[in-house]
Chains A and B, each alone.
Chain A
Amino acid sequence: MMSDEKLAPRPAVPFLHIDDAGAPYLAGSRCGACGAVAPGQRTVCNACGARSNIAAIRLGTQGKLYSYTVVHRSFPGVKTPFIAAIVDLEGGGAIKGTLLDVKPDPEAIAFDLPVDIVFRDTGQVAADGAPFLSYYFTPAGGAAE
């Protein structure tokens, strides 16, 4: 018998957390000594080596496009083309991800494009049936949608 119970989404990366209200966010840490921001929780700062005073924070929900490529050839089974982006987050830190809702054409992609960090079902399902949830980038305010 299939269970009717809906399985909770499975984060695609360890630093994607889901709060008590069920809202996803990106977790990070900020070093009190040097200010470096990193995804995920840390006990030692990888920028300066500090071993205390590292605060757990939520990473920014917006950012700016730093660099990218349009991937045309990828591993078998991966749908192309897509935009593989590097985004500088508001409040510090940088992450890589896929930029959606922009034409995968260099002519259509602007440096420093303001983006939102959004959370979407990836369409992939874990062995136990849980849907994988990931973060993506989209143009800020959904302007191009």
Chain B
Amino acid sequence: MSDVYIVGIDMIPFGRYPHRTVEQLGAEAALLALDDCGLSIGDMEALYCGNLMEAHLMVGQRILREIGQTGIPVTNTANACATGATAFREGVISIKAGLHDLVLAVGVEQMGRGLLGSVGRADGFVEEGVLGSSTMPAMFSQIGIEHARHYGTSFAQFAQIAVKNHHHSTMNPKAMSRRETPLEEVMAAEMIAWPNTKLMCSLNVDGAAAAVIASESAVRRLGLMDRAVRVRASELMSGPYTPHEFAIPDFSQVTRNCVGAAYERAGLGANDIDLIELHDCFATAEVVHYENLGLCADGDAGGLIDTGATALGGRIPVNVSGGLLSKGHPLGATGIANLYEVATHLRGDAGARQVDGARIGLTHVVGGTPNRGSACVIHILEKT
């Protein structure tokens, strides 16, 4: 099987684009990714498109109508917050399978504002407040409190995640929010669901990101190896059974299963990773994923926060892009935007937030909804 490479990758600045269509946003990202490697839509043999909110509305085809209807196969994917990464992975698989040499992956989303989800059921019953809560912040707060239950994690430790990621965002011109938020400000912000305050929740924004994925022979034929990034692992897992299955989706075991498969595929371990973009949809989530990804032993995530090990300049920088807390979280775009961030560091192009000497990076997205299930995608990328 051929090694697989990213040869072109980019994202539009995440923000609010109420006057543009989802296909316009996706098309812009696609053209940026093509320009990044000097190729055209005519060179692409297939398109893998990730979009969640309009999953049944042929977003991939609509993007091609914006940038060139070449008639290539289009696969539209939806997989909760793992949507974009799932689309990218389908592209990787098509090259591994020998079907294609050059494919395009696009992740794009236009979000509403406010809390995700809806309040009423078809029979008119409002579950929220009666059957606990189904809001995303509530769910991820329960996961943080579960961590506190086992290890005594403090409100301040959770809040410190937001301080760190918002600090990183000041160096990323493509982040939606780019300002420092001191610990006192994070902790004093409006409480959304204990212990996540408003500044510990990701932003609902619009966004798009895209990647051109290539086989080794295509990279060599086109002379693109200089800036190519090798895909060492591309793993997808669904949530396995856990005893809490019907009370809360599993985000931890699915991450552990997925990263185990990724480390095995790449022949690498957590100690080999130079930077990580992980799924900080809420500050509490980042804490549990330190342990899920093997950055520290179970119970040591609080210590990792206290020592600054996951800040830029630390032992294992996490979310130097500013993370979803600062960049924003356009569901379908997030997975490819994470790949863009890591690839940018491996290419040495990350400017003020560059992780020095980065050779290997990991991206992680995990999503799910109450009483439905979860999906996790992990990629390991390597500088060529």
Contact = CB atoms under 8 A, between A and B. Distances in A.
Contacts of B247: 66, 86-87, 94-96
A140 to B, nearest CB: 18
Contacts of A68: 142, 145
A124 interface: yes
B131 interface: yes
A127 B130 CA distance: 18
A94 B115 contact: no
B370 A96 contact: yes
Which of A10, A79, A98: most chain B CB closer than 10 A? A98
Interface in B120-155: 123-133, 135, 137-138, 141-143, 145-146, 149
A127 B115 contact: no
Interface in A69-96: 69-80, 82, 84-88, 92-96
B131 A96 contact: yes
A106 B124 contact: no
- Among A47, A70, A76, the one with the most B-chain Cβ atoms within 10 Å of its Cβ is A70
A79 B129 contact: yes
B17 interface: no
Interface string A131-145: 010101000000000
Interface string B229-260: 00000000000010111111000000000000
Given A124-B126, A126-B124, A69 B142 contact: yes
Nearest to A39: B246
A73 B201 CA distance: 12
B149 A111 contact: yes
A144 to B, nearest CB: 18
What secondary structure prevails in chain B residues at the interface with A?
A: loop
A76 B246 CA distance: 25
A6 B118 CA distance: 31
A24 B130 CA distance: 16
A46 B118 CA distance: 27
A86 B142 contact: yes
B132 A73 contact: no
Contact of B241 (A36, A75, A93, A132): A36
B132 to A, nearest CB: 4
Interface stretch (B6-14, B19-27, B63-71, B187-195): B187-195
A93 B243 CA distance: 6
B267 interface: no
Interface residues of A, number: 46
B239 to A, nearest CB: 11
Contacts of A70: 191, 193-194
Q: Which of A12, A70, A75, A87 has the most CB of B within 10 A?
A: A75
A78 B126 contact: yes
A124 B138 CA distance: 22
B57 interface: no
A70 B192 CA distance: 8
Nearest to B127: A12
Contact of A75 (B117, B132, B191): B117
A75 B246 contact: no
Given A46-B245, A77-B126, A96-B370, A67 B133 contact: no
A84 B342 CA distance: 36
Nearest to A45: B241
Contact of A84 (B117, B126, B138, B190): B138
Contacts of A50: none
Nearest to B125: A132
Nearest to B194: A70
A69 B125 contact: no
Nearest to A85: B132
A12 B131 contact: yes
B119 interface: yes
Nearest to A70: B194
B130 A98 contact: yes
Contacts of B127: 12
Contacts of B246: 38-39, 93-96
12 contacts: A12-B130, A13-B131, A46-B245, A48-B241, A75-B119, A75-B135, A84-B193, A88-B243, A96-B131, A96-B247, A98-B130, A126-B123
Interface of B: 115, 117-119, 123-133, 135, 137-138, 141-143, 145-146, 149, 190-195, 198, 241, 243-248, 370
Given A69-B194, A72-B193, A96-B132, 8 more contacts: A67-B146, A67-B248, A70-B194, A84-B133, A86-B248, A94-B246, A98-B129, A127-B123
